[in-house]
Structure 1
Amino acid sequence: MSPSSDPPRIFDVQRRTARLERSERTLARADFLHARAAENAVGSLEALMRTWPEATDLSAHPGAFAAALAGSAAAQRVGPVKAVGDRAARAGPGAAPPDLANGSQDLIVSLMSLHWANDLPGALSQIRRALKPDGLFLGTLLGAGTLKELRGVLTEAELEARGGAQARVSPFADGFDGAALLQRAGFALPVADVDRVTVRYPDLFALIRDLRAMGETNVLAGAVRPLTRGILGRAAQFYAERHADAEGRIPATFEIVHLAGWAPHESQQKPLPRGSAKMRLADALGVREQTGEG
C-alpha cells in the first residue's frame, strides 16, 4: 500500500489508550452517555423478534451494553456477549475486529467508541465483514454538535491570549451522514438517528472533570500546546457569560448518533429510493420513538 492511500492520523492512539485506561477507574462517576447508548441499543433489539446466538461488544467500555441487556426482554434472545480485543484495539478502532473471523457474528455492538477511529469507513467495513449474512450491527458515536459550547469558548480564550488557537475538541462526524457511511461500508438497510442531550454543570471545570472521567478528552495527533490556568479561567468566564442560565449553570451539548445496519442477505427487502437511508431509526424498526431529557 502506498503512503498516499493510508488513512489520515487524526488521533493519537497511544494517548487515547492511556486515557481510556485511566477512565476505567472513574467512568462510574460519569457514565450517563454510555448508559443512554446501551439502553437505546437494547431497545432496538427488543423491537426485533429475532435471536442472536453469536454476539460481540466492541465498545470502548463494554460493560454498559451487557448491564442494560441483563434487565431486558431481549436478554433470552441474545447469546453470551463477548468483549474482544485489548484496550488499544478498543481505544483506536479501525483495524480488523480482533479474533473475529469473517462471517462469524450474528450481532456486533460498538458504543461510544467509533468517533475515535482514524479510519471510520474502514472500521465499519471490517465490522460488516465479521457479521454473518443478515447479521445486525448497532453502533453509537458522538456527532458534530457535541461540546459546541466548549469548542467556542476555548477557541475564543486562546485567540485572545495567544493570537491563535489549536483544536481542543475532536472533529466529530455529522450525524446526518451516518446512514451514508454505513452504505459506503456495505451495510444493507442502513439507518441513523441523532439524539441530542443537554447536560447542565455548575461551571466549565465540572464539565472537564466529567470528560476526564469518561476518557473523552482531547487526543488529537500532533504537538498540542497546553492551556494555561489563565486561558482556562478566561474560557470559564466566557462560558458563563455566553451560555449560563438564570441559576448560573452552563449547558453542555452531547449529540449521540445511533447507527443500525445489516450484513446483506438475499431475503432482505430491496433498497428504497436514493436518500431514503436517512430515515429515523424508530421508523426503520417499526416502533414508536421516545424522547427524553438527559
Structure 2
Amino acid sequence: MTQTDPNSPPRLTDRAQLARNRRRAAPEGLFLQRLAADEVKDRLTEVNRTFTKPAVVTGFPEIWCESFPDAKIVADDDTLDLEVGAHDLVVHGLSLHWANDPVGQLIQAKRALVPDGLFMGVMFGGQTLSELRAVLAEVEIETTGGLSPRILPMGEIRDLGALLQRAGFALPVADSDLRKVTYPDATALIRDLRLMGERNALEQRLNRPLSRQFLKTVNTRYARHFPAGDGRITASFDLVFLTGWAPDDSQPKPLRPGSAAARLADALGTDETKLPD
C-alpha cells in the first residue's frame, strides 16, 4: 500500500489507472487526439516563426509523433522530462486535463522554452460530455440519493486562460472549439471513452461498475434529453486551446495609464462629455 503525505494536497488523478486506461485505448477511438494534433499544426502555420527545437507533451506518443516527427516526445508525468531553455516550441497535447497540478505543468513548459518561445496546449474544457454528466447525475440522484465522481471535472475557458497568466506566460490566449459527435446510445459513448483512453481515472472514483438497470435507465434518459435525430444521441467535446509566449524584452508591452498621445473622443469623432464628480 502506498503511503501519502498527509500535508500534501489531494490528488485528482490516479496515474496508475490512467496508464491502464491508455493501454486499453484503440486506434479507432483516438480520432480526437488526431483532430487535436492536426488543429495544433494548422494553428502553428499561422505563426510567423520557424520552430527548430520543438517538444510535445502527450499521453499518446504514437499519435503526436505522426504530426511532429522532429519533436522530442515527453510523457505527461507530474514532472516533465524537459530541459530548461532547450526548446523554442512546447506543445501540450490533449492531456493537461488529467494533470494533478496543471499550473505546475505550465510552469515546467515555460521553463523549457527559450525567451520568446511558444507554448501551445490543447485540453478538454468544461462543456466536454456535458450531456452525459447531466444524465448520470439525474439517474444517480434518483436511484441512490447522492452523486459519485464518475467524470473528470474540467475547467471553463476563462479559468483555463487564467492558468497561463498564473504560470507567467506573456500574451496569453485561450479559445474553444466545440465538437459534436453522435452515437447510437449512451452505452456506445461510454464504450468509445474506453477506446479513447479517457475512462474514469479519478483518485476518488468508485470502482463499482454500472449495473445493467442503471445503464438501461441512462440510455433511455439520454435519448430523451439529447437526441441527435435518426435514433442517435449527441455528445459534446470541448477542445480548449491555450497559447502563450515565454517572456522576452522584444515583446509588445501595454502602455502606462495616462500615457496616450491622443484622445479617444478625437479618434471616434465625437464630443467628450465630462462626468459629474
The residue correspondences of 1:8-47 to structure 2 (distance < 5 A) are 8-23=10-25, 26=26, 28-47=27-46
Letter in 1 for 2:136: L
Distance 1:223 1:172, change over 3 A: closer
- Unpaired runs of 5+ residues, structure 1, are 71-79, 274-294
CA contact (8 A) 1:189 1:261 kept: yes
Q: C-alpha displacement at 1:228, in angstroms? A: 1.2
Q: C-alpha displacement at 1:22, in angstroms? A: 1.8
- Give a deviation string over 1:107-144, Cα, whole Å, max 9, x none: 11111100000111111111111111111111100001
Matched positions, count: 252
| 1:179 partnered with 2:161 | yes
Distance 1:260 1:7, change over 3 A: farther
Determine the structure 2 residue equivalent to 1:243: 226
Letter in 2 for 1:32: F
The residue correspondences of 1:57-206 to structure 2 (distance < 5 A) are 57-68=56-67, 80-85=70-75, 90=76, 93-95=77-79, 97-98=80-81, 100-206=82-188
For residues 202 and 60 of structure 1, the distance between their equivalents in structure 2, rounded to whole angstroms, comes to 28
Letter in 1 for 2:227: A
Q: Normalising by the residue count of structure 1, what TM-score does the alignment of the two structures yield?
A: 0.80
Q: C-alpha displacement at 1:267, in angstroms? A: 0.7
The residue correspondences of 1:267-278 to structure 2 (distance < 5 A) are 267-271=250-254
CA contact (8 A) 2:140 2:147 kept: yes
| 1:212 partnered with 2:194 | yes
Q: C-alpha displacement at 1:159, in angstroms? A: 2.0
Give the one of 247, 255, 267 matched to 2:238. Answer: 255
Q: Normalising by the residue count of structure 2, what TM-score does the alignment of the two structures yield?
A: 0.85
Q: C-alpha displacement at 1:49, in angstroms? A: 2.7
Q: CA RMSD in A?
A: 2.0
Deviates more, 1:185-194 or 1:241-250: 241-250
SS at match of 2:24: helix
Q: Percent identity?
A: 44
Decide which structure has the larger Cα Rg and report it.
2
Q: C-alpha displacement at 1:173, in angstroms? A: 1.0
For residues 160 and 57 of structure 2, the distance between their equivalents in structure 1, rounded to whole angstroms, comes to 18
Distance 1:146 1:272, change over 3 A: farther
- Give a deviation string over 1:42-76, Cα, whole Å, max 9, x none: 11211123222211111111333343357xxxxxx
Determine the structure 1 residue equivalent to 2:47: 48
For residues 272 and 240 of structure 1, the distance between their equivalents in structure 2, rounded to whole angstroms, comes to 54
